[in-house]
Structure 1
């Protein structure tokens, strides 16, 4: 299994690809799945260069944007300052697999984040950071679908998940699953088409 540690991610974000080329539009699942939510506090777990964090801040959310890569966070902060949203985002350089935030958020989102502990343990971990009455939104790479090399890195088994595997985590009295589906879409990093097969789960924490 790939070691998705700090060294790995610093290497990925330092490859030399221009910010313009690698800046995809905000994840469409985020906009669709959070449109009905009351604005509050949100954790963007594995924020990368801050595309989703910036969008959330622009909607009025008080954002905590967390990532293991200092390189990615520096680019993300520069984007936020340029957009005039820097004061609405708290940037945190941490390892999600070890972090103990000692607080919760109204919304926790993760978009294609990978850590050394694997996808399902990661999702279970960040779920504990959702406040009672809050929402967890997971967007991941569907198991069995390798990432196109043009998008920057491949996705071995440890970085993918199945819909069944994710939803099984939330079949408890503490949670209600509100959305659970797979979808295929095409993105254009550096102008070249890349097909992604995604798995999306939105769950509401009842207690």
Structure 2
């Protein structure tokens, strides 16, 4: 069961106003409803909280509702990737968590630890990404992690890491990985620019 943080525990909007605290226009109100009906339901199924205990949007969802055009386009990009990516679900979470940890994006890490657990990513790999250890990683997990870490931190990928990713995932998989990295770089930037906080990560069950 997903635990929702208390609405009054902290300023869940960070530097942004909470959407329920300001007068929204019609498009913004529609965006809030769409996020509750679609994205928030996926978050709940995945085991992380998209709202506080009063139902107010938290994480990137509040920010996406405030700029509906950009928010819908971004959510469409993410939804298309979830439907069509050639990467296994667990490998996608290796990529996303590697980006989140590199950027120290608290909510991204919080959310995708939960998603990683839900899709069967091992606790060893999840904690290894967070701590900087690759002990116990499988070949595909290591290839995805190294490719992502190099691109995010060094802005380039070594020939060795590129070859390993190509062997593990093929050309389409490497293309899908770069798109996925871009999505979560954007998410990390949104979270960090506005100092958006995150609930505590629950212990593994």
TM over 0.5: no
- Is the radius of gyration larger for structure 1 or structure 2? 2
Q: Greater share of helix residues, 1 or 2?
A: 2
Q: Greater share of strand residues, 1 or 2?
A: 1
TM-score w.r.t. length of structure 2: 0.32
TM-score w.r.t. length of structure 1: 0.32
